[in-house]
Amino acid sequence: MNRPESPQGAVRRRAVSSVFAVLAAACGLHARAQTPLPGVVPGPAPVPRAAAPAELAARPLAQYPWVEFARAYFEGQNVSVALDTSRYPWTIGQTVDVWVVAHRSALEWDANPFLVDARGAPQSVTFSAGSVQANTFVLTNALSGDAGTSLGVGYDVVLDLDGDGKLGEPDLIDGLGAEAGFYVCKPTALAGPLAVTEVLYSGGTWLGEDIYYPTNIAALGALPLVVVSHGNGHNYTWYDHIGTHLASWGCVVMSHQNNTMPGPDSAALTTLQNTDHFLANLGTIAGGVLAGHVDSHHIVWIGHSRGAEGVARAVDRLFDGANSFATFTLADIALVSSIAPTDFLGTSSANAHTQNMSLWVGGADADVDGCVASDIAVSWPLLWRATGVRQSIELHGAGHGAFHDGGGSTVSAGPCLLTRLDVHPIMKSYLVPLVKRYTEGNIPAEDFLCRPWETFQSPGVPTNSCVVVDLQYAEMASTGKRVLDDFETNLTTALSSCGGTVIQTFDIYAEGRLDDPNSVFTFTASETFNGMCDGRATDNVRGAVMAWTTSDRGVNFEVPIAWRDVRDYTYLSLRACQSTRATETTAALGDLDFTLTLQDTLGHESSIRASAYGMGIEEPYQRTSCGTGTGWNNEWETVRVRLTDFTRDGSLVDLANVAAVELRFGPSWGGSSGRIGLDDVEFVRE
Amino acid sequence: MKRSWSIGLVLLGVAALGVFAIERVSGGTNGAPPRATRTGTEVQTLLLAVPFELEEPYVHAWRAERPSVQSGWLVVLEVDAEKVRPTELAQPVLCAGDETLERYHHGYEAGRVVALLPADKVFGARAAVELAARTFFFASPQLPEQIDALAISAERALAEQRGCAPFALPLVERAARRGGAPIVVKDRVELDRLAAQLILTYSPADRARAEELLR
């Protein structure tokens, strides 16, 4: 959808925008009639004096902005090259060789500018005026994604505009720098390249360990350590699917006995003691083969259930100084990954603090069931208490026992139940990028954690219609992200947390704590925050809820003057959910579409539908109980749109002067009716 | 020398428990001991009790005070299986008198639990008397690691109000005879191995847990 009309009498109430809109109209500056201007910053087209960086490697889309400049692709998946000629008008009419080159750093390009196509030969394309659609070409030939135990082979894309076979003026390159233009990845749901050895070890009471490592570890360096802490009634030998898989991708995995029956604090102590014992006894465990091959500074803790709360509590114990070890410190815990955690210990103790955290939730969990009747059975607060990078993976139909491989019941309730054969490949497909992201700083891994399941999933995962996966991804504050509104300060609805004005036209619009106010998911119109599970009474997690019925509505967040230049930012990001069991939700059950709009200080605007990327706001899992009605917790999903996508095809919107972000809903913009939650509207970097 | 002494006692303990296990298995069906006559609703009966003493103490993690323990009872109880149904959420806490028991396993399928009851060292005839003075009960669902002396006392009063009472001395004495000679071993690792044998005998569905303890 390219530059849609404004909502009828709905959102555009901001005086400055309206004034400029009128002026623009009077001057004949209707967006559709505009002559495209080059560059992100309006002005005359600069002619590059050396090879210029550009976004080129792309995935075609069926609607505006027509292409997504994604970073990660799977082997065998089409990669396209796309050029927005409105930004590079000097390329129009040119027939150009497209080179796909094994990624080089800037220094390497300086040393060796000669182009060598990884496919054997470059590909000739001709650029034309008009939409990027007409200038999108599938890159021929398969590219290798074999990066050994790492994830993704980097390639740079070069448009050799002068045809000299070298990188230089006036060529365009996607990938000039530390990051490649794109990455081709092996399927992460499938085993990695290494054979795996498993050994059982016991170092004493609660020190039984099931250890997995690459069989040829003697030839490898120091590998990240993944520790698995099981749940109550579970067993440390029930995680072969995790241990074998991650070891095949170059990790050492240790699953240990866990003292869960007294509670998660005892489990936390067991996690700490096993981590310490393991690192302190590498010289003897498994005959000493691991000595020198475990990187004690890159540790991932994965816990399940009480053990999943335990790993957060273990971080808390290190954070508080209650425990310390010679073998590792808090800084060495690269990631805490909690699978269906309980929350017995609450805000102050079940808390991963500054560490990176991932959360796994099964929609059909019949034990830690997520029903708001008990805070203990609701996992989500653990995620939002952490302040590192946070991500969640929610699987419809996955029961509590589906996450281990111990057999027996999957401890599940609800429709469209998944088996372990469904769940484990999905787990594997995300575990690899999780571990690679936080132990290696792997770049393409971030795509796995951010891009919606619907459009980016590893070969090898189940594809039946019952498989629904929702992802959230939140950068930490220290990245310098610009949070327009997290609803946690400036608590009036007319003011965002960053101090900008908020104008909205919804039938219902409220800010509040993301905590269901009673013990059931039963919907009543007056219970605005029904189905919210992100915090308990002692957690400060807030957001907004808005509703509309068959009319166009919207909300406009002013960008403060000092923040209006967003060229240094990569994405507009937000998270949203549909309200469970609400009449507006059940009226048209399904992914809910909406439109994101950027407005600049001159009144130009550009709009993109979430569905353009295959995204939408997921409907809640259709499970009953926990009150009357159908639908489980509100399922948040992160929606990220690349800022330069708003500038596609000659859009006049100026990323150096963004005045407002507007979210539009209703028949003209997406779902006709809806009741949704909204949080964390922000500009983030890649 | 001390090590040899400990090993000898371990073997003695294993022999005693083994005799009992054989005795019980021979009288049961499908390899499991027969159920004893029920004497309570939540903790139904005491099947076996044997005093233990360790050279090296361990931390009793099943109560908030986390006391150090060097002696007590290894017991096998028949219980209301619903009280020990595995869950990640709060479970009833098994208590005896003013103490919590450490359950080695869930015991849901068999309705039998092998557990450790921390207690002062009392060997000989007085031991059964001391044990017979305790009321076995399940405290309300909560985390054992969070229950303290005050809470246990309150839960005990509630249990007695609902009819929980100590086992009769003859029943305890019978259970103690089944248990055989006191176990005197070096540490929890050795004690756990003996407990594992009891799990295999009385709650064979929890074999995986027993195997953990035997490794």
- Which amino acid, A303? G
Tell me whether the omega of the peptide bond preceding residue A65 falls within 30 degrees of 0, making it cis: yes
Burial (0-12, 13-18, 19+ Cβ within 10 Å), A122? buried
Residue B41: band (very low, low, confident or very high) from pLDDT cuts 50, 70, 90 = confident
Report the pLDDT averaged over residues A578-598. 97
Residues 6+ away with beta carbon under 8 Å from A573: A475, A481, A638, A639, A640, A641, A680, A681, A682, A683, A684
Dist CA A411 CA A617 (whole Å): 27
CB A275 within 8 A of CB A458: no
Distance between CA atoms of A9 and A19, rounded to whole angstroms?
15
Residue B11 has pLDDT above 80, yes or no: no
Predicted pLDDT at A189: 98
pLDDT (0 to 100) of residue A39: 35
**What residues in chain A have their Cβ under 8 A from chain B's Cβ atoms?**
200, 202, 204-205, 208, 231-233, 235-237, 257, 259, 261-266, 269, 305-306, 340, 342, 344, 367-368, 374, 376-377, 400, 406
Give CA angle at B164 (B161, B165), nearest 5°. 115
Alpha-carbon distance A272 to nearest alpha carbon in chain B (angstroms): 15
Whether the predicted pLDDT of B38 surpasses 80: no
Q: How far apart are CA A214 and CA A244, in angstroms?
A: 9
For residue A344, give the nearest of B106, B143, B192 by CB distance: B143
Q: What is the mean pLDDT of chain B?
A: 85
Task: Choose among A125, A136, A127, A4: nearest CA to A66.
Answer: A136
How far apart CA A201 and CA A256 sit, in angstroms, is: 9
CA–CA gap between residue A330 and residue A317 (Å, rounded): 9
Apex A579 CA angle, A576 and A582, nearest 5:
155
User: In which element (H, E) is residue A159 found?
Assistant: strand A153-160
Interchain CB contact of B192 with A (< 8 Å): yes
A642: closest CA among A85, A86, A69? A69
* The predicted structure's pLDDT at residue B202: 98
pLDDT at B40: 58
pTM, whole model, 2 decimals? 0.90
| Option in A261, A266, A342 nearest B103 (CB) | A261
Average pLDDT, stretch A442-470?
96
Q: What is the mean pLDDT of residues A257-276?
A: 98
Nearest to A231 among B58, B88, B188 (CB): B88
Closest-CA residue of chain A to B210: A235
Task: Please report, rounded to a whole number, the percentage of residues in chain A having pLDDT higher than 90.
Answer: 91
State whether B87 and A232 contact (CB < 8 Å): yes
pLDDT of residue A398 exceeding 90? yes
Encode pLDDT of B109-158 as tens digits: 999 999 999 999 987 878 999 999 999 999 999 999 999 999 999 999 99
Residue contact B88–A306, C-beta within 8 A:
yes
Q: Using alpha carbons, select from A74, A159, A83, A162 the residue that is nearest to residue A432.
A: A74
User: Helices in A197-305 by DSSP H: which ranges?
Assistant: 240-248, 264-280
Rounded distance, CA A27 to CA A24, Å?
5
Q: Nearest by CB to A305, from B88, B146, B212: name it.
A: B88
pLDDT bin (cut points 50, 70, 90) of residue A359 is very high
Whether residues B88 and A236 touch (CB distance < 8 A) is answered with no
B109 in contact with A at a CB cutoff of 8 Å? no
Q: How far is CA A545 from CA A227, A579, A675, B215, in A?
A: 39, 8, 7, 54
Dump pLDDT digits (tens) for A231-259: 999 999 999 999 999 999 999 999 999 99
Query: In this structure, how many other beta carbons lie within 10 angstroms of the beta carbon of residue B15?
Result: 12
Q: What per-residue string of b and e applies to A248-258 under the rule 16 or more CB within 10 Å gives b?
A: bbbbbbbbbbb
pLDDT of residue A579: 98
The 10s digit of each residue's pLDDT in A641-673 is 999 999 999 999 999 999 999 999 999 999 999
Q: Which residues contact A336 (CB under 8 A, 6 or more apart)?
A: A300, A301, A303, A311, A312, A315, A352, A355, A356, A357, A358, A386
Q: What per-residue confidence (pLDDT) applies to A686? A: 87
Q: Which tens digits make up the pLDDT trace of A492-534?
A: 999 999 999 999 999 999 999 999 999 999 999 999 999 999 9
- List, for residues A125-154, the tens digit of each pLDDT value: 999 999 999 999 999 778 999 999 999 999
Q: Do A376 and B89 touch (CB under 8 A)?
A: yes
Q: Which residues of A touch B196 (CB under 8 A)?
A: none
Confidence (pLDDT) at A177: 87
Better-predicted residue by pLDDT, B2 or A166: A166
> Residue B72 in contact with residue B118, Cβ under 8 Å?
yes
Instruction: Choose the weakest-confidence range: A116-125, A329-338, A387-396, B39-48.
Output: B39-48
Report angle CA A589, A595, A600 to the nearest 5 degrees.
165
Average pLDDT score over residue span A99-112: 95
Tokens 């469970």 identify what position? Answer: A580
Mean pLDDT of A448-454: 95
User: Residue A117 pairs with which residues in a beta bridge?
Assistant: A101
Cβ partners under 8 Å of residue A434, min gap 6: A300, A335, A337, A358, A391, A445, A449
Strands (E) in A43-118, as ranges, are 52-53, 57-60, 67-68, 72-74, 80-82, 95-102
Per-residue tokens: B91: 């479970």
Q: A233 and B89: CB-CB below 8 Å?
A: no
3-state SS, residue A199: strand
B89 and A374 within 8 Å at the Cβ level: the answer is: yes
Contact B145 A374 (CB under 8 A): no
The letter for the amino acid at B21 is: A
CB pairs under 8 A between A and B: 64
Quick one: which H or E segment has residue A300? strand A294-304
- Mean pLDDT for all residues in chain A: 92
DSSP assignment of A570-595 equals -EEEEEEEEPTT-HHHHTT-SPBP-E
Return the bridge partners of B54, or none. B185
Given B103, B144, B209, which is nearest A263 (Cβ)? B144
Segment B173-176 long-range contacts (CB within 8 Å, at least 24 positions apart): B173/B128, B173/B132, B175/B46, B175/B47, B175/B48, B175/B49, B175/B75, B175/B76, B176/B49, B176/B50, B176/B127, B176/B128, B176/B131
Using the Cβ of B148 and the Cβ atoms of chain A, whether some distance falls under 8 Å is answered with: no
Determine the pLDDT at residue A12: 41
| Predicted pLDDT of residue B215 | 83
A265, A349 Cβ separation under 8 angstroms: yes
Contact criterion met (CB below 8 Å) for A636 and A577:
yes
What's the confidence (pLDDT) of residue A15?
37
| Cα-based torsion angle of the residue sequence A32, A564, A610, A668 in order, rounded to the nearest 10 degrees | -50
What's the confidence (pLDDT) of residue A8? 34
Residue in A262, A342, A368 closest to B144 by CB: A262
Nearest to A231 by CA among A304, A301, A312, A300: A304
- Residue A351's CB is within 10 A of a number of other CB atoms, namely 23
Question: What is the pLDDT, as a whole number, of residue B19?
Answer: 39
Q: What is the pLDDT of residue B27?
A: 31
